[in-house]
Amino acid sequence: MNMTGAGFWVAVVVPLAALLWWWNDYWYALPFLLRRGSSKLPPGYMGLPFLGEMVAFLWYFKVLGRPDDFINAKRSKYGDGVGLYRTHLLGEPMIIVCTPSANKFVLQSESSFALKWVSDELVGKTSLVAVEGDSHTRVRGLVVRAINQPNALRKITLMVQPRVVASLRSWSQRGRITAYNEAKKLIFANTAKYFASFETDRVLDTLDDLFKGVLIGFRAYPLKFPGTAFHHALKCRRKAEAIFREEMETRKKCGASVTKNDLMESLMQMEGEDGKRLSDVEVIDNIVSLVVAGYISTSFSVMWALYYLAKYPDVLLKLREEHMPISKKLKGDFITYEEIASCKYTAKVVEEVIRMANIAAFVFRTAKKDVDYRGYKIPKGWKVACWVRYLHTNPECFEDPMCFNPDRWNEAPKAGSYLVFGGGPRICAGNMYARLQLTIILHHLVVGYRWELVNPNAKMVYLPHPKPADEVEIEITQI
């Protein structure tokens, strides 16, 4: 039988294309539907074999530069439903969660959804981010006390300011700087100082290089062969660990005769409710993972603050009005934790910067079992992406969301719509520490400096983190 050109298309190409087009939906959803009979998966499309919806995702995030339209397109196609969509991204079947109540449901239920890292070896097997259940509660209690509560924050406020003052002065002496790079150097130096009293340039440079290597490992495929980024990251982690361990051993030899007043000392000495201290491995694992969790995220917030304040001079003016009287009263002394806590307008600016920055755009979990949510199934083993950036940029949660407006914080946000630090038992353990660092830097910036953007219309990039393409190049001078 002779097949015409059109016949060939109808008989072979179209069915093949349809099969490919729906492949992931058949592959992942059909067996599940057959097995469960009446149960439903959330609406959505799981894309092509292997690729899933990666092409559409990259299209919205990278090509169009309109990341939130990835979700808007789903809403228009499948309706709002209960705020869940099925998809296939990053090589895995996935449920996207994009309403306040559905996000709350996922983030609160540790018994149903687990936090899984590419490798526990990289984050540290006994670190707060890797442990679960009672161990998590115990370690979290100690870490939060050492880094995120008023006594620790009071100490940190005074410890980090010399470096902040010196860095800002050096920025203005150079005139033109890239805010993201300089913020990273400053935050890293402050982190090393508070975490283990490391101050010399030699140790800072070595650690900085090692942590850069570790961070690359989080986005690499977990292959442990020499030459791979992941293998290199593990090596960097072990070397960084060795530096902290050496410091710990030196302290143990000196005993109580030398006090450092830093995080390492707190973690070595604190006792939990059970009267037990952290083991040496736990202390080191937690220090290393706290550097990883806090250093880049806080640097982004500083970069975005410089960006928005340059774009919104009326906000900068109001900030200055709040800080100038404090600065005059201080006569060159450092601002205290209590003074920082009294800066109400600054607190709103900080919240607004972090909302708009969307530093952690998604928070991932894995379903530990089949979970029902308002008539839909989240299958066991599937990834769950709490799409928190969508909440922060959605007009149903924040009025005129793309406008930088600290005054919106005169009122509390709608319940569940502000998840910049995640939520539930794993909410960011350093959220107050991050806010504090940003506030201290803002204080010294607004009382002493003026700056403008070199490229006010710089293109935005959204992956892996949102930032202007020039990483916020500024001209900065002393007032």
Site for ligand HEM, rule CB under 6 A:
115, 128-129, 140, 147, 290, 293-294, 297-298, 301, 354, 359-360, 363, 420-422, 426, 428-430, 433-434
Rounded least distance, CB 412 to ligand HEM, Å: 19
399 Cβ contact partners less than 8 Å away, ≥ 6 residues apart? 408
Give the Cα separation of 227 and 199 in Å (integer). Answer: 32
Closest approach, Cβ 218 to ligand HEM, in A, equals 12
Smallest distance from ligand HEM to CB 21, Å = 33
Specify the residue, 39 or 431, whose C-beta has the smaller distance to ligand HEM. Answer: 431
Alpha carbon separation from 140 to 279, 417, 426, 430 (Å, rounded): 14, 24, 9, 11
Tell the smallest beta-carbon distance from residue 290 to ligand HEM (Å).
4
Chain residue at closest Cβ approach to ligand HEM? 430
Closest approach of ligand HEM to the CB of residue 362, in Å: 9
Q: Cα–Cα distance between 258 and 197 in angstroms, integer?
A: 12
Between 233 and 434, CB nearer to ligand HEM: 434
Query: Judging by beta carbons within 10 Å of its beta carbon (0-12, 13-18, 19+), is residue 309 exposed, middle or buried?
Result: buried
Least distance CB 304 / ligand HEM (angstroms): 9
Shortest spacing between CB 93 and ligand HEM, in angstroms: 19
Give CA–CA dist 451/426, Å, rounded: 37
> Tokens representing 403?
């406008």
Q: Which helix (H) or strand (E) holds 169?
A: helix 150-174
The tokens describing 437, both together, are 């660092």
Dist. CA 444–CA 179, nearest whole Å: 15
Distance between CA atoms of 356 and 401, rounded to whole angstroms?
A: 8
**45 versus 300: smaller Cβ distance to ligand HEM:** 300
* Least gap, CB of 354 to ligand HEM (angstroms): 5
The residue among 87 and 298 lying less far from ligand HEM, judged by its C-beta, is: 298
* CA dist 239 → 39, 124, 223, 227, 249 (Å): 50, 13, 19, 17, 15
Nearest approach, Cβ of residue 388 and ligand HEM (Å):
7
394 and 106 Cβ atoms separated by less than 8 Å: no
Q: Which is nearer to ligand HEM, 115 or 454 (CB)?
A: 115
- Smaller CB separation from ligand HEM, 297 or 327: 297
* 178: amino acid identity, one letter: T
Measured CA to CA, the distance from residue 225 to residue 229 in angstroms comes to 9
Do 364 and 115 meet the contact criterion of CB atoms below 8 Å apart? yes
Whether the upstream peptide bond of residue 468 has omega within 30° of 0, thus cis, is no
448/168 Cα distance (integer angstroms): 9
